[in-house]
Chain A
Amino acid sequence: MTTADSKTQDSGIQYDMSKNEIKVAPNDGSYLLDGYELVCGLEVHVELATATKLFSASANRFGDDPNTHIDPVTLGLPGALPVLNRQAVELAMRIGLALNCKVQPSTFHRKNYFYPDMPKAYQISQYDQPINVDGWLELPGGKSIGVERAHLEEDTGKSTHIGGTGGRIHGSDYSLIDFNRAGVPLVEIVGRPDIASPEEARQYVTELRQILVAVGASDAKMEEGSMRCDANVSVRKPGAPLGIRCEIKNVNSVRSLGRAIEYEARRQIVLLEAGEKIRQETRHWDETDGRTHTLRSKEDADDYRYFLEPDLVPLNPDQAWIDAVRAALPMLPRERRLRLSQATGAPADGEAIMVVVERGQDDYVMSVGEAGADVARALVHVKEAFAEQGANPTVPAADLAQMIIMETGGKLTSTQAKTVLAEIVANGGGDAVAIAAAKGFEAMDNSALEAVVDQVIAEQAEAWSKYCGGEQKAMGALVGAIMKASQGKADGKAVTALLLAKKG
């Protein structure tokens, strides 16, 4: 409801000084924002797809009954000690190498704070010597976003607060804790503040997600929390020093990320324009009212008393291991888009290629091409008809190839091709020739089509003369009549081409 409200506001921004909140008009997509630049850096946490936890042998599995994947280490029982999971290190290195980072010797620290779902009252996290440093991620359009570091740390348990208001611990009657998530390995990817618009933020997260999935490091689902994104946002006049930043938490989708950054930038601009100062603070994105709210200010921030974790030894992967991980990296989304672009002639950052590569169907498109069909048609059909199919479509590549060969050979009109394809997809495959025959789709060869066209021109002399006089609208009437006369067997493109040729 609040979303609708904000859309109806056309007067721009309203500021409630007492609540330190503003209402803003929806984004018109233009950056600069009122003469201000946006400076944004993202911190992304991803849960690694390991079999077991970062420091113990309990299963790393989402969605099971509470407290079924626990052990003395996970619960922080007295005397329990962490042992680093080799697979987690390998997945962290895959992430680092895919993001062009340097993999370096690293250490673990303790980050000390009390919270009921933190069993040891400290989190083991890499701190001043992370495993991956100094990389970058290239957006589809070519802009490079710096990656400061990508480090290993452990997740906390999950609290559910019963009673009270708003599901918060304060004021609740009691709380339940599920420690299944405690100790699950995370990699935190800290981006440099190179992001200059909400759209770039969306692209960064989308691209990052694809890379994480491609290298097998994580399923990276924002909605399920296996990928979590915090945004550091500040604004400044072009050329001015960096502004004070606020950190936005609780952003649970790529769409919300753009909205939250936009809202926060506008909130800061309103304050600055009113002569106010920005307070450095952590803010909470509220999906329902579309605003950010103060969570805690810098003054309230915990002193985490970091110190080197004495229960672990330094992590120093040897060069042979690093080289092996690098050599085993699969083709990354950017390369896959370029490959598909070269094969089809479609732009690498165009919608069709972006969508098909994001779905992981680019290998499939290529194999349809290898089966003898036109790859560009394969790209279009897969993009249009395979949205529900996932990375490994059930339709055999040869079946789609056969259909496309009929289409490009003029044996099926594009409308007929769609109908045949729909049936092939519904059945998980099929013989396009047989389906076309069963539906009575016959190829209308060019001489038959020309006869129909000549007949319609004769019948619709008025429309024909208008068309020849340059009235484009008239073409619609002619094409419609031709399609009708051919009982839908005429190919639209061929009809247009014939009309154009006859016009001279």
Chain B
Amino acid sequence: MTTHANIPTTAAAIADGVRSGALKAVDVLEAHLAQIAAREGEIHAFNLVTADEARAAAARVDADVAAGRDPGILAGVPIALKDNMCTRGIPTTCSSKILEGWRPPYDATVVQRLAAAGAVAIGKTNLDEFAMGSSTENSAFGVTFNPRDISRVSGGSSGGSAAAVAAGFSPISIGSDTGGSIRQPAALCGVVGVKPTYGTVSRYGLVAYASSLDQMGPFSTDVRDSALVLEAISGHDPMDSTSIPQAPLSLQHVLSQGVEGLRVGRITDMPSGADPDVTARLEAAFDALKAAGAKIVDVEMPSMKYALTAYYLIAPAEASSNLARYDGVRYGLRVNATDTNAMYSATRTAGFGEEVKRRIMLGTYALSAGYYDAYYGKALKVRRLISDDFARAYTKADVLLTPTSPIVAFPVGEKSDDPLAMYLCDIYTIPTNLAGHPAMSVPFGTGAHGLPVGVQILAPTLGEQVMFKVAASLERSMIAAGGAK
């Protein structure tokens, strides 16, 4: 889908070329900057393109190669970063007016690890403000349009990162996923998107939305590139207490292993509501896996229908606390007023958008004395029930298969006045976050209007290897059927 002459389209191929000296990182970068210059105007994937810093980083990679130093496994690969991860000295806004102009004094662990692996950060991508949304329309800095059809949304909240990869601005990008914010835009933009097991990728430096649900992960044009990025960014980080003490994931070697004998679960009592063009592609995916030797088994998830409700209590509750620090005292926006409380109020009123305010109100209410047990407390119980459901399902199946999004990319503005309709976009992605499990979306053909459809693969905790085996198998079947990757 990219159009750079002589530059490979995947991160793996670029890194191979740069490491071997066949490609110059600076040439790779210029080709991608040219693509940004050509299409960014109509897509608006970025809040900021850091061309100068990227040129310096690419030159360092080339110098490493020339000097015989190991330039890293992502040598010279341009990468776009969602604008909610801290980048030292580079504005980090979360697409919110309240953080406009703030420059973090430190890099997120993921940003450090990408740099150490030789990746070249090219900019900060747009998102729904503080990652709250499913369309990247809730950004203080404008909508990100879908590169496949610029009258439609890119999905969200990591719409900018999904669009950047779909538009060929960078072969890979990083997003964050709290309730589907990587997988849903990946599906809508026709790219691969992965939410790893909670605790696999350090959250240090990721601006928190809902801390117990947030997890960072990659976007890519193919399955291997996502595996490659995860190998570079995963592994224990002492700066994140919820980081699992384990070595980085090892994934690339499983991609060719096939799915013979694997049990792929179909959730028989899954909440309905997916469009027929989407369910048709899900059935095609089951067929493809069956043809590849997998066994299709039925599983039940009786609590799944409560997941959306539980999520919209737990996530806003944590958000109401996480976002309380934006008070105008130390950084970001300050609107002066007669006293401190009035200053807080004026700052937050001016600085936050409607959806952020809605979730802060919802979360504050859910945690309030007298309401805690009925709302937040009950949501935590549902969260446990969902984990129990998954545990039972995974005694019968190795992975589960669902749609990623119930619908293909919708027109800009269609749902922006109807929060509940927007929330339903994440009905299939949210349960995984509540359980802390890994899940990923792989493009699997097209639906209505020729728009991409994603299929979601769910796996148990630390089940990334089996998940990637299935993803690679689906990708092979698409290629065999003559579909675009």
Query: Contact residues of A with B, CB < 8 Å?
Result: 72, 75-84, 110, 112, 114, 116, 119-122, 169-170, 175, 177, 303, 305-307, 310-313
Contact = CB atoms under 8 A, between A and B. Distances in A.
A121 B108 CA distance: 22
A200 B214 CA distance: 51
Contacts of A170: 339
20 contacts: A72-B104, A77-B86, A77-B105, A78-B92, A78-B207, A79-B86, A79-B104, A80-B204, A119-B330, A121-B321, A121-B325, A122-B321, A122-B324, A170-B339, A305-B368, A305-B372, A306-B367, A307-B318, A307-B376, A312-B241
B15 to A, nearest CB: 27
A307 B210 CA distance: 13
A110 B106 CA distance: 24
A116 B340 contact: yes
B388 interface: no
B477 interface: no
B238 A83 contact: yes
B212 A305 contact: no
Given A110-B321, A310-B211, A311-B211, A305 B241 contact: no
Q: Enumerate the 9 nearest inter-chain pairs by beta-carbon distance, A residue then B residue, closest first.
A: A121-B324, A310-B212, A305-B367, A310-B211, A78-B207, A79-B205, A79-B86, A303-B369, A79-B207
Contacts of B105: 72, 77
Interface in B98-124: 99, 102, 104-106, 108
A59 B105 CA distance: 19
B77 to A, nearest CB: 24
A79 B204 contact: yes
B364 A305 contact: yes
Interface in B205-244: 205-208, 210-212, 238-242
A76 to B, nearest CB: 5
A84 B242 CA distance: 11
B106 A120 contact: no
Contacts of B376: 307
Nearest to A116: B329
Contacts of A306: 367
Interface of B: 85-86, 92, 94, 99, 102, 104-106, 108, 203-208, 210-212, 238-242, 317-318, 320-321, 324-325, 327, 329-331, 339-341, 344, 364, 367-369, 372, 376
A175 B328 CA distance: 14
A198 B436 CA distance: 53
A112 B321 contact: yes
A311 B325 contact: no
- Which of A75, A80, A122 has the largest number of chain B CB atoms within 10 A? A80
Contact of A81 (B240, B321, B369): B240
Contacts of A84: 241
B16 to A, nearest CB: 33
Contacts of B242: 310-313
A76 B99 CA distance: 14
Contacts of A305: 320-321, 364, 367-369, 372
| Residue among A83, A121, A313 facing the most chain B CB atoms (10 A cut-off) | A121
A307 B324 contact: no
Contacts of B321: 110, 112, 121-122, 305, 307
A81 B202 CA distance: 10
B167 to A, nearest CB: 27
A79 B108 contact: yes
Contact of B325 (A83, A120, A175, A312): A120
B411 to A, nearest CB: 33
Nearest to A121: B324
A485 B104 CA distance: 86
Nearest to B203: A81
Given A305-B321, A311-B242, A78 B104 contact: yes
Nearest to A307: B367
Contact of A77 (B203, B324, B331, B364): B331
A454 B139 CA distance: 108
A170 B102 CA distance: 29
Contact of A307 (B204, B208, B317): B317
Contacts of A75: 330
A96 B204 CA distance: 32
A177 B327 CA distance: 14
A119 B211 CA distance: 17
A427 B424 CA distance: 84
A45 B106 CA distance: 33
Instruction: Tell which of A79, A169, A306 has the most Cβ of chain B within 10 Å.
Output: A79
Contacts of A81: 203-204, 239-241
Contacts of A120: 324-325
Contacts of B241: 81-84, 311-313
A310 B329 CA distance: 24
Contacts of A112: 320-321, 324, 367
Contacts of A76: 325, 330
A306 B210 CA distance: 15
Most buried by A among B208, B241, B372: B241
Contacts of B344: 114
A78 B95 CA distance: 13
Of the listed residues A116, A170, A305, the one surrounded by the most CB atoms of chain B closer than 10 A to its CB is A305
B14 to A, nearest CB: 28
A373 B241 CA distance: 57
A72 B330 CA distance: 12
Nearest to B317: A307
A78 B239 contact: no
Nearest to A169: B340
A114 B86 contact: no
A116 B321 CA distance: 15
**Taking each of A77, A78, A120, which has the highest tally of chain B beta carbons within 10 Å of its own beta carbon?**
A78
B223 to A, nearest CB: 29
A79 B206 contact: yes
Contacts of B94: 78
A110 to B, nearest CB: 5
Contacts of B86: 77-79
Q: Which of A72, A77, A116, A119 has the most CB of B within 10 A?
A: A77
A122 B208 CA distance: 14
A72 B106 contact: yes
A305 B320 CA distance: 10
Nearest to B332: A78
Given A80-B204, A313-B242, 5 more contacts: A114-B344, A116-B329, A119-B329, A121-B324, A305-B320
A303 B368 CA distance: 7
Contacts of B207: 78-79
A193 B329 CA distance: 39
A245 B369 CA distance: 21
B185 to A, nearest CB: 21
Contacts of A121: 321, 324-325, 327
A415 B248 CA distance: 78
Contacts of B212: 310
A78 B324 contact: no
